[in-house]
Amino acid sequence: MRVLIADDHKLISEGIKRALDDTPDFEVVAEATNGAEAVALANRLQPHVVLTDLSMPQMDGVTAIGQIKAEHQDIQILVLTSYDSDSDILPAIEAGAIGYLLKDAPREELYEAIRAAAQGKPLLTSAVASRLMERMRGPAVEALSSREIEVLKLVARGANNKEIANQLYVTEATVKSHLIRIYGKLNVTDRTAAVVKAMEQGILRLGS
């Protein structure tokens, strides 16, 4: 099974590659350090499975998932991340991810998840499945993406648009677009109200 790894943390990416290289039925064809690179490499190399993080520079994982699936329905995408909130899980699955795994999962669970993804079988860890069940039982609220939460955290710390853009390696126009989407999802009209609403809903926590 040809696997493409997308993660901006080199140590994590190299660790995953070593683990997969130790297993004869996996071949790591490339490692991407951001979402845009993951899309380009998927287009060129046509892996069976893309193993991707969500929070990456230049293009986040959810956007990359959507772009890859729009062009290649046969490429399966498995999320491997440390984010376990419903505001991260749902957008990834809606974008086309077939599975969602947390980075603290045992190695054998990772292997089985990749094998399942390659066969087109959806797989969610028990922790992720529980989050989705909680979401289904609760009120319907449009979820913020992991990148939108990153922007909101910086807003909560008092950062202006230019400072946020510099920290996330994006343009100020991109930051403004994220804020507009955040306001719409939270049904607010300004930065302060967005932070307050996010804290009320448990999206942000004091000191986060």
Q: Is 146-200 a domain of CATH 3.20.20.140? A: no
> What integer pLDDT is reported at residue 208 of this predicted model?
56
Query: Residue 184: is it exposed, middle or buried by C-beta count within 10 angstroms (0-12/13-18/19+)?
Result: exposed
Fill in the amino acid letter for 42: A
> What integer pLDDT is reported at residue 63 of this predicted model?
93
pTM (2 d.p.): 0.65
Per CATH, the architecture of 2-137 is what? 3-Layer(aba) Sandwich (3.40)
Q: Assess contact for 184 and 178: CB atoms under 8 A.
A: no
pLDDT, block means (10 residues), the chain with 208 residues: 95 94 94 96 97 92 94 95 78 90 89 93 74 56 82 93 94 92 89 88 73
Residue limits of CATH 3.40.50.2300 in the chain: 2-137
> What integer pLDDT is reported at residue 140 of this predicted model?
47
Q: Assess contact for 17 and 5: CB atoms under 8 A.
A: yes
> What integer pLDDT is reported at residue 143 of this predicted model?
80
> What integer pLDDT is reported at residue 199 of this predicted model?
86
State how far the Cα of 132 lies from the Cα of 25, in Å rounded to an integer. Answer: 31
State how far the Cα of 98 lies from the Cα of 82, in Å rounded to an integer. Answer: 17
> What integer pLDDT is reported at residue 116 of this predicted model?
92
> What integer pLDDT is reported at residue 133 of this predicted model?
63
